[in-house]
Structure 1
Amino acid sequence: MNQFKPIFLGTVASTDDMSKLKRAVDTQKCIRAGGKHNDLDDVGKDSYHHTFFEMLGNWSFGDYFKKEAIGWSWELLTKVYGLDPNRLYVTYFEGNPEMGLEPDLEAKDLWLSVGVPEDHILPGNMKDNFWEMGDQGPCGPCSEVHYDKVGGRNAAHLVNQDDPLVVEVWNNVFIQFDRQKDKSLKSLPAKHVDTGMGFERLVSALQEKPSNYATDIFTPLFAKIQEVTGARDYTDKYGKDDLDGIDTAYRVVADHIRLLTFSISDGAVPNNDGRGYVVRRVLRRGSRYARKYFNAEIGSFFSKILPALVDQMGEQFPDIVRKQKDVKEILDEEEEAFARTLDRGEKQFEKYAAQAASTGAKKLSGADVWRLYDTFGFPEDLTKLMAEERGLNIDEEEVAIAREKAREASKSIKDSVQTFAKPNVHQIAELKDKLQISTPDDEPKFTKGDIKAKVQLVFTGTEFLESTKDLPLKTPFGILLDRTNFYAEQGGQVADTGRIVIDDVAEFKVLDVQQFGGYVVHNGYLDYGVLKSGDEVICEYDELRRQPIRNNHTGTHILNHSLREVLGDEVNQKGSLVDQDKLRFDFSHKVQVTVPELKKIEDLSNSYIRQNCKIYSKDVELDLARQINGVRAVFGETYPNPVRVVSVGIDVDMLLEKPENPEWRKVSVEFCGGTHVEQTGIIKDLVIVEESGIAKGIRRIVAYTGDAAHAVQRDAEEFGKRIELIEAMSFGPEKESEVKQATADLNNLVTSTVLKDALKSRFNKVVKSVVDEQKKRQKAESKIALDAVTGHFAKKENKDAKYFIGHLPISANSKAVSDVLNHFKSKDKERTVYMFGGSPSEGAVVHGVYVGTHVASSGVTAETWSAAVSEIVGGKSGGKEPTRQGQGNNADKIDEAVEAARKWLEEKLKL
C-alpha cells in the first residue's frame, strides 16, 4: 500500500494521476521471508503459510467506508462466491484505553446488520485488529473474516488461534488515523479502506480443500516436481503423518520456486545483502530439501520446475515470461555455487551435531552455526532446520555474538591490510634455486569449481615458512600452493577472492592473488587453525564474484572488436580494467566517439552476444598465432610463448588451418590469459555508460554487462516514466520544482549513454517548455507589478504620494520585483517603493525596495529598511543603494511584513 500513502495523508499532488483515484482493485505479489514479517520457518510444515502469495485488494480513497466495505464483503463471500455463512466468523477492534482508543462498535453493529450471528462476531486486540504501517503514519482498526474449513460446529474459540482449519481469508482495514511522532493519533481528513484477501486461502475455501497446497494453485507444480524427481505422489500429509518428509519437501519446493521466480524477475537477485540475501536463503533452503528428500542433483534443479510456473502464471504476470531465461541462469548459477559446499557442509554439521550429542547438550553452539554459514554458505535458518531434525536447538544470541565478532575482525583486517608484501627478485630466486619450489599448475583457473591442492610455503614478506604456527591469527601473509584455481591479477582482470580451507581445522581468507615470476601468492589472513607445508587443502574462489568478471572480460573482447568495426583499424587497445562491477577499456582514437557511433558499437556488440557464440581458447606458438588475420593484441605488451588465443565463435584450430583467411577479421580473436564465459548468451547485454577522453588521442569507455546492464536499463526506463509524469503536470511551482530535481538526477543517472542522450533530448523539451512558460509568466507578472505600482501613483488621491508599500498580486517572482525597481531607479527617482510578492500556498516570499530621493534625504537607506523586514519574512537581502532585494520562506507573515515596513518608514519620517 506504500504507493497509496500520499493519498491517505492528503499529500498527493493534484497533478499526480493518483489524485484522481476514488477506488482501486489489485492483486499484490507479496513476499514474507525476512524482516518483521517472516513466514519462512513455517513453510512446508503447515497448510497455509507461504513465502510468496497473492493478496487481492480493493481500496477506497475517501469514497465508501465501513458500511459499504462490510456489506459488500459479506455479499461477495456469501452470495457471489457462495461460501456457507455459518462457517464465517468476523472480528472487530476491542479498543485500547491506554492509547485512548474506543472499541469499534460501529463495525460490530454493521456486521450484525448484514446478518452475522452475534456469537460469530468476536472482539480482537491491537495485534490482530489494529493495523499500523509503522511507528508513524496512516493506521486504523480492522475487521477480519475467518473461515472454518470443517463446518457443522461453533468454531469461535478457534479464531486467531493458529488453527490450520480456521483461517483468516479477508481483512478490512479502516484507515482513519495518522500516528504522530509522539504516538498520538490524529484523525485523517478523509477516511479510507484497504482490504486484503488471501488468494490461496480463498481458493482453498472455494475448492473445499483442507489445505492451500491441495488446491489447483499448487497441483501443476507438484506434477512437475514429480516428473523431475520421480518421487511418489503428493498426499497432503503434515507433521508426524508425513513419515518420509516427501510431502513437506513438495510444499517447500513449490512455494520457493514461486518466491524465487517473482523476486528475481522484479530485480531482487540473490546476493549477501538485504533482500538479495533473503532470496539466497530461500534458494539454499529449497536446494537442501530437494537433495535430502528427493535425492535431486543440485545445480539446475529449480530451473527444471520453472517452466511449469511460467505456464501457470505467465498470462497474469507477463514479466516472468519475458525474464524466464534470466531467471533460469541465475537459479543455476546460485545452485552451482551452493552445491560445491553442500556435501562438505552437511558432513561438518553432522560432526557438530555428534559433538553436541556426546556432551549431552541439546543445542549447537553459536560459533558452530556461524562457521557453517561463513565457510559453507549455510544460512542460519537452514542450520536451524537441520538442527530441529536432530532434536537440537540454536541459541540465536550466541549466533549473533559470533557473527558480530567475525564481522568486526574481518572489517578491521580489511581496513588495515591495503597492500601485501611482494617477493623480490632475490626471494623468487630463492624459491627456484635454493628451496627448489616449482611454479604451480594454474590451469584450473580456467574451469569452474573447487579443487584440492597442497601447501608449499608460507610467505611473510621477509621469509618463507613451512608452518603458520608462530604467526598470530589475523596476520596478513601469503600462501604458495602446488596448484591453484585462483586467478592472479593480470591482463587488466582483477584477482579472485575466496578461501583456502581444511574443513574445521583451518581456514585462510584469500583477499588478493598476485603472480611473481610464475609463482602465485595467495594473500590474506588465517581465520582459525594452523597450515603447514604438505597440508592438503580445498581451494574455493568466490564463483558468484567471478561470474560477472567473466561476463565483463568476454564483453571487453566483443567491445574491442566492435570498436574496430565501427571506428576503423586505427583503434588499438591502450589498457583495460575488468572487475565484478564493470569493464573499462582504453583505446586510441583522435576524436570523441559520437552518440550515433556509440549506438552502432553497442548494437553490434549485443548482436554478437545474442548469437550465443561459444568461446574457444588454446595455447598456440606465438609466431603462428600472430599470423591469424585480425588478431588483437596490446601494442608493446610482451606475450609468453606459447600464447593463449581466445576466439569468440570460431574454433581456434579452424583459425589456424588458414590463418590468413580474410573472414577472420569478422571474428573477435585476441591473445588473452583471462577467464571467460562458455557462451556469449550468458553475458545477456552490454551497455556503454561512459565515453571520455583521458589523454591526447586516448579515449575510455566504461560498460556494464549481465544483471548490472539490465539494472541501468531499468533505471533509464523508470526515468522515462518520470519524464512522462512531469510532462503531464500543469505549469506551476510543483512542476518547476520537479524539473529542477529531475535535471540534477538526470545528470547523475548512470545508464546507457545512448539512452541517456535520448532522455536528455526528450527532457530538454520539457525544460524548454517550462522556461518558456516562466519567461512568459515573468513578463506578464512584471507588467502586473509595474501597473499596480504606477497605477497607485496615478490615482487622483495619490498624486502627491511619495512612497508605495504593498503586497502585489504576483508570485514569488524576483524578476518582476527587479523590473519595477529598475523602472523607478531610471524613470521616477523621487518616489520610494517597497513591494512584496508570493503567498502562503506558494511557501515563498520576495521583497524589494527602492529608496527615492525624497525619502533618502531623511536618512533612510535601503539596507537598514530591508534588514528590519527580512527578520519577519526570513532570509536575507542584498543589493546596492538605493535598492535592495530579498527572499524568505515565512510567506504566512507577508501581511505582517507589509505593516512592519510601513511603520518603520513612518517612524523614520516621523509621520
Structure 2
Amino acid sequence: MASSESKPYEGKWTALTVRKTFLDYFAERGHTIVPSSSVVPHNDPTLLFTNAGMNQFKPIFLGTVNKADKLASLKRAVDTQKCIRAGGKHNDLDDVGKDSYHHTFFEMLGNWSFGDYFKKEAISMTWELLTKVYGLDPQRLYVTYFEGNPAMGLEPDLEAKELWTSVGVPEDHILSGNMKDNFWEMGDQGPCGPCSEVHYDKVGGRNAAHLVNMDDPLVVEIWNNVFIQFDRQQDKSLKSLPSKHVDTGMGYERLVSALQDKQSNYATDVFTPLFARIQEVTGARLYTDKYGKDDVDGIDTAYRVVADHIRLLTFSMADGAVPNNEGRGYVVRRVLRRGSRYARKYFNAEIGSFFSKILPALVEQMGEQFPEIVKKQKDIAEILDEEEEAFAKTLDRGEKQFEKFVAELNKKGEKKLSGLQVWRLYDTYGFPEDLTKLMSEERGLEPTDESDISKAREEAREASKQVKDKAQSFPKLNVHQIAELENQYKISRPDSEPKYGKGDITASVQLIFTGEDFIKSSKDVPAETPLGLILDRTNFYAESGGQVADTGRILVDDDVAEFKVEDVQEYGGYIVHIGYFSHGSLSSGDKVICEYDELRRQPIRNNHTGTHILNHSLREVLGDDVNQKGSLVDEDKLRFDFSHKTGVTHDELRKIEDLSNAYIKQNAQIFYKDVDLDSAKQIEGVRAVFGETYPNPVRVVSVGIDVDMLLENPKNPEWRKVSVEFCGGTHVDQTGIIKDMVIVEENGIAKGIRRIVAFTGDSAHEVQRMAKEFNNRLQELEKLPFGAEKEEQVKRTGVELGQLTISVLEKEELRQSFAKIQKSVVDEQKKRQKAESKTALDTVTGHFAKAENKESNVFVGQLPIGANMKAISDVMTHFKSKDKTKSVYVFGGSKDTGVVHGVYVGTELASRGITAEKWSLTVAEVIGGKAGGKEPTRQGAGTQPEKLDEAVKTAEKWLADEMAKLKV
C-alpha cells in the first residue's frame, strides 16, 4: 500500500528522473523491477512487434506460464517496456510527425499485480504518484470508468468510480466510458476486464471534461489501469477469474510532456537531444515545434519524423529485426526509407550514412537504461548505411518517375495514382506504399484504393512466379551460337570488371537471345517471356566458382522499360542476363541502367570471403591433405566440400571456427590482382581447386597481405599463414564486415569427402540468438518440477532440438544438457512407475488381506495411482501368476487427467462362465475406447475419463448381475 508521506521531487523533471522515479516508487512498494522484453517477440507469432507492456506477461494472464519461468513467481512487477506500433493491427506510422503525441517507438511504463492487490490499491497508488510524487495539478487530471454494457451482461464499474472519489478526484472529473474506451480484452477469447484511464489537460485553468477521449491533442490519455477479472469464453460469455490481476500502462513520453509542462511530447528532452544532433549534422534551422500549416517549410515535421524513426530503427535492429522484404523486416526497411526521403527532401542530407550519424546521440541518451543498443551500436550503424546506400541508388529516379505519373494525372484531370503505378514505384524503385501515399498527400492527391494496389501486386507476383520457373530452364548458348555471335554479329565479349565494384552502371544492349535465336528488338515478344540480354558491359555477377548469380533489373530511365534479371550465366566469355520484361521493350543499341540487388549481394560477399577464411582454417587445423572439392556461396549460407579421410571432431571444429573468427576480427583488408598464372602458382600456400582450369592471367585474392608483396617473395613460408586463393568472385573490403562465422553443419557426403555449412553476418547472429534462447528454455525446463507438464515439454523440446539449425558446437552442448534433463525424467518415471506399481498391488492385496474380506475373491475399484497402464498390468500379472483364483477389475487415473483400466478373471469366476471380454466390453461402453488382450485378461484406456465413477459402478453392477443370474 502506498505511503501517505510521499513528497514531490523538488528538482527539475528530466526524462531520466521521470523514468527512475516511476520504477523506484513501485519498487519501494514491493514490486520487482522487470527488464523490458525484446521489442521483437521471437516467441509470439501473433505479434509483429511488442506493442504493449503486457505482452511479456501474457503467459501469466493466460495461465500458461512455465512453472520454472522466473515470471511464474511474480506477484508484483514494474517495468518500462519498449514498444513499436508501425505495422499490423497497431500502426501509428502515418501519424508520426503530423501531431505532437504519436510515435512508432515509445516506452510504456507499467505496474502489475498478479493475483495480489486489485482496484483499491492500484487507484490509490496511481493518484498518489501523479499528484503527490510527480506533483501534477489534480485540476488538470480526469479519470474514466466503465459505464457497463447491459447487452453483454456487464454492470457499470461503480467500484472504480467510488475509489476515485475516495482518493479526492472531483465528481465532475470522473467520467464514464464505453466498451471501446473502457473495457480491455486480450483477444476474442481469454482474460479481459474494465479499465480506468487517467487523462491530462495540457492547458489547465478550465473544465476539459467534454474533451476527454475526443482526440484533442491537448487533452490526452496518460495512464490506463486495466482490472483483469473476467475470462471471455468461446461463446462470448464471461466467467469470473479465480485470481484478479492489475495491468497498467502509462505513456512515458506523454508523462514527461506533462511534467515539463509542454504541449508537445517532441518539445521535451526525450527528443531535444536528437534534434540537436540532427541540426548539427544537417545545418538546418533550429526546431520550433510547429505543426500543420504553421510548419510552413515542413522542417519541424522532418525533425519529428527523423527523431522518431531513428528510435524505431535502433531498438528494432538491436533486438534482431534486420531490414528485409518480409514481415517485421519490411516494416524496418520502409521506416528507414521513409525517414531517408524526409532527410533528403527537407534537410538536403546526403543519403548513405545519415541515420548512423544521428545514432550516437540516441545511444548516449538511452544506452544506460537499454544497454543492448550500446552493445549493438556498430552493427546497427553498418546496417543503416547499407540500407540507405541501396535506397539512395533509386531515390532520385523514383521521385522523378513519381513526378512523371503526377504530370500524366494532371493532363487527364485526375487526382489518384493507379494501383499499378503505386506498385511499380515499389517494385522498380523501392518506394514502400506508405511512402508513395505520403508523397501523394504532399501533392494533394487522393489516396489510391488498397484493392487496386493489391490487385496489381498479386498480378505481378503471379506473372513473376510463372516466368521464374521458365527462366530456370532457359537454354544455354551452344558452340554454334557462340560462333554466330563472334563471326556473324561481330559481338565482342563484354567488360565484366564493374562486377567487382559497387553501384549502378550504364551499358548498351548488343543482342537479345530468345533461347533459340538472336533478335535485335523485344518489341514483338509477348510480355513476361523469358529472354536473355547480351550487353557490352555489366556489373552483374555470372554464376561461377560456386558463387550464385546476381539478380536485379536492367532498365531505361523514365520507366520506359524494365527487364527483371533472375539469373546470369557465362558461355565462352559471353554473359547472358536471363529474365523478362515487366513492361516496355529494348532494342540493340539502347542505353540501359544495370542495377544488381546490392542488399542480396552483400551477404553473398560475406559468405564468399568467409569461405576463403574457412578454407585456410581447415588446412591450419586438419593439415595439408585438405583440398577443396566443391562449394556453394549464396545469400543465405556458405557450403564447402573438402577432402579429409576421417570425421572432423568437435574439438577440431571448435579450433576451425575460433581460428576463422579470429581472422575475421582482425578486420583485415582484402587484396586482389590479376597475375600471370605461372607467377601466381609460385606463391607459397596458394589455394586452388584441383583439376580446375584457370585463365591466364588469374585473379589472386589475398586476405590481409597485398598481392604485390606476396609476389616480391613468393616462397616466403609466412604466406602459408595467409588466405591466398585463385578466385573470380566478389568479396568484402574488410573481414570485419563479415562479423562472425558459425558452423551449422559438418558431415561426410562421400568416401573421403566432408561438407561444412556455415552462416556469417546477421544470419550468424540470428542462430547465436536462437541457441541462447534455447539454452534458456532448457534451464527453465530443468527447474520445472517433475510431472505431466515436464514430461510433455521434454518430448516437445527433444523434437525441436533435432530440427534446430544452430552452431554444431552449441547444438552438441544443448544435446548434452537436454540428455541430462531427459535422463532425470526417465529416472523419475521409472521411480514413479515402480512406486505406483507397488501402491497398486499393495492396495489390492491389502484388500484381500483384511479379515472382513477373507472370503472375498473379487476386487473392483479405483487405485490411488495415475493413468499408469504398467501398474495396472503389474497387478493383473501378479494375480494371473500367483493368486489365480481371485478376480480383479482395477482403474487408474482420474476424471481430469485420463483413465486406464484392466481386468483379470480368476479361475473361480472363469469356471462359472465369466469372461474378461464381456466384462470389459460393458465398462468400455461407458468410459469409451476399447479393451484388448487375451483371456483371462483385458486392458484399455478410456476416452471419456469424466465417466470414471460411473465406469467403476458399472463394473461392479455387471458382475453382481451376472452372479445373480448364475444363482438362479
Are 1:844 and 2:898 matched, yes or no?
yes
Paired AA for residue 824 in structure 1 = F
CA shift, 1:794, in A, is 2.3
Matching residue within 613, 627, 650 for 1:558:
613
Q: 1:411 to 1:132 in 2, by over 3 A?
A: farther
Query: Secondary structure of the equivalent of 1:393?
Result: coil
For 2:579 and 2:609, how far apart are their aligned partners in 1?
28
Are 1:807 and 2:862 matched, yes or no?
yes
For 1:73 and 1:305, how far apart are their aligned partners in 2?
36
Q: 1:711 corresponds to which residue?
A: 766
Q: 1:358 corresponds to which residue?
A: 411
Matching residue within 62, 77, 80 for 2:133:
80
Paired AA for residue 555 in structure 2 = V
Contact 2:66 2:784 survives alignment (8 Å): no
For 2:926 and 2:728, how far apart are their aligned partners in 1?
71
Contact 1:9 1:188 survives alignment (8 Å): no
What do residues 253-310 of structure 1 show as CA deviations (whole Å, max 9, x unaligned)? Answer: 1110000000001111111111111111110010001111111111111011111111
* Alignment map for 1:307-318 (pairs within 5 Å): 307-318=360-371
CA shift, 1:152, in A, is 1.1
Matching residue within 326, 329, 342 for 1:273:
326
Contact 2:471 2:578 survives alignment (8 Å): no
Paired AA for residue 428 in structure 2 = T
Contact 2:471 2:567 survives alignment (8 Å): no
Q: 1:234 corresponds to which residue?
A: 287
Q: 2:29 corresponds to which residue?
A: none
Pairwise CA RMSD: 1.8
Are 1:461 and 2:534 matched, yes or no?
no
* Alignment map for 1:796-875 (pairs within 5 Å): 796-841=851-896, 843-875=897-929
Query: Secondary structure of the equivalent of 1:394?
Result: coil
Q: Figure out how many residues of one structure are paired with residues of the other and give that number.
A: 910
Q: 1:92 to 1:412 in 2, by over 3 A?
A: farther
For 1:184 and 1:893, how far apart are their aligned partners in 2?
26
For 2:935 and 2:692, how far apart are their aligned partners in 1?
69
Q: Which moved more, 1:416-425 or 1:770-779?
A: 416-425
Are 1:144 and 2:183 matched, yes or no?
no
CA shift, 1:495, in A, is 1.2
* Alignment map for 1:243-258 (pairs within 5 Å): 243-258=296-311
* Alignment map for 1:433-582 (pairs within 5 Å): 433-503=487-557, 504-582=559-637
Paired AA for residue 511 in structure 2 = L
Unaligned stretches of 5+ residues in structure 2: 1-53
Q: 1:669 to 1:862 in 2, by over 3 A?
A: farther
Q: 1:880 to 1:620 in 2, by over 3 A?
A: farther
Contact 2:109 2:252 survives alignment (8 Å): yes
* Alignment map for 1:139-178 (pairs within 5 Å): 139-178=192-231
What do residues 283-339 of structure 1 show as CA deviations (whole Å, max 9, x unaligned)? Answer: 001000111111111111101111111111111001111111111111111111101
Q: 1:186 to 1:412 in 2, by over 3 A?
A: farther
Q: 1:62 corresponds to which residue?
A: 115
CA shift, 1:533, in A, is 1.1
Q: 1:36 corresponds to which residue?
A: 89
Are 1:885 and 2:939 matched, yes or no?
yes
Query: Secondary structure of the equivalent of 2:691?
Result: coil
Q: 1:20 corresponds to which residue?
A: 73
* Alignment map for 1:611-760 (pairs within 5 Å): 611-760=666-815
Q: 1:369 corresponds to which residue?
A: 422
Paired AA for residue 603 in structure 1 = D
CA shift, 1:135, in A, is 2.2
Q: 1:789 corresponds to which residue?
A: 844
For 1:281 and 1:867, how far apart are their aligned partners in 2?
66
* Alignment map for 1:598-613 (pairs within 5 Å): 598-613=653-668
CA shift, 1:419, in A, is 1.6
Are 1:300 and 2:357 matched, yes or no?
no
**With structure 1 as the length reference, what TM-score do the two structures score?**
0.97
For 1:270 and 1:625, how far apart are their aligned partners in 2?
40
Q: 1:89 corresponds to which residue?
A: 142
Are 1:46 and 2:99 matched, yes or no?
yes
For 2:726 and 2:289, how far apart are their aligned partners in 1?
59
CA shift, 1:458, in A, is 1.2
For 1:443 and 1:789, how far apart are their aligned partners in 2?
88
Q: 1:750 to 1:869 in 2, by over 3 A?
A: farther
For 2:483 and 2:197, how far apart are their aligned partners in 1?
79
CA shift, 1:5, in A, is 2.7
Paired AA for residue 408 in structure 1 = E
Contact 1:442 1:483 survives alignment (8 Å): yes
Contact 1:838 1:845 survives alignment (8 Å): yes
Contact 1:175 1:194 survives alignment (8 Å): yes
Are 1:411 and 2:498 matched, yes or no?
no
CA shift, 1:730, in A, is 1.3
**With structure 2 as the length reference, what TM-score do the two structures score?**
0.92
What percentage of residue pairs aligned between the two structures are identical? 77
Contact 1:8 1:190 survives alignment (8 Å): no
For 1:439 and 1:858, how far apart are their aligned partners in 2?
100
For 1:417 and 1:880, how far apart are their aligned partners in 2?
64
For 1:874 and 1:705, how far apart are their aligned partners in 2?
55
Are 1:769 and 2:769 matched, yes or no?
no
For 1:863 and 1:672, how far apart are their aligned partners in 2?
77
For 1:458 and 1:196, how far apart are their aligned partners in 2?
62
Contact 1:558 1:605 survives alignment (8 Å): yes
Contact 1:92 1:129 survives alignment (8 Å): yes
What do residues 169-220 of structure 1 show as CA deviations (whole Å, max 9, x unaligned)? Answer: 1111122222233333332222221111111111111111121111111111
For 2:294 and 2:807, how far apart are their aligned partners in 1?
56
Q: Which moved more, 1:347-356 or 1:398-407?
A: 398-407
Q: Which moved more, 1:523-532 or 1:810-819?
A: 810-819
CA shift, 1:906, in A, is 4.1
Paired AA for residue 856 in structure 1 = A
For 2:476 and 2:218, how far apart are their aligned partners in 1?
68
For 1:695 and 1:865, how far apart are their aligned partners in 2?
60
Q: 1:571 to 1:116 in 2, by over 3 A?
A: same
Paired AA for residue 252 in structure 1 = V
Query: Secondary structure of the equivalent of 2:493?
Result: coil
For 1:105 and 1:206, how far apart are their aligned partners in 2?
30
Paired AA for residue 459 in structure 2 = K
Contact 1:366 1:394 survives alignment (8 Å): no
Matching residue within 162, 176, 192 for 2:245:
192
Contact 1:365 1:394 survives alignment (8 Å): no
Q: 2:165 corresponds to which residue?
A: 112
Paired AA for residue 840 in structure 1 = K
Q: 2:648 corresponds to which residue?
A: 593
CA shift, 1:853, in A, is 3.0
Matching residue within 275, 285, 292 for 1:222:
275
CA shift, 1:154, in A, is 1.6
Q: 1:876 to 1:576 in 2, by over 3 A?
A: farther
CA shift, 1:890, in A, is 3.1
For 1:4 and 1:552, how far apart are their aligned partners in 2?
39
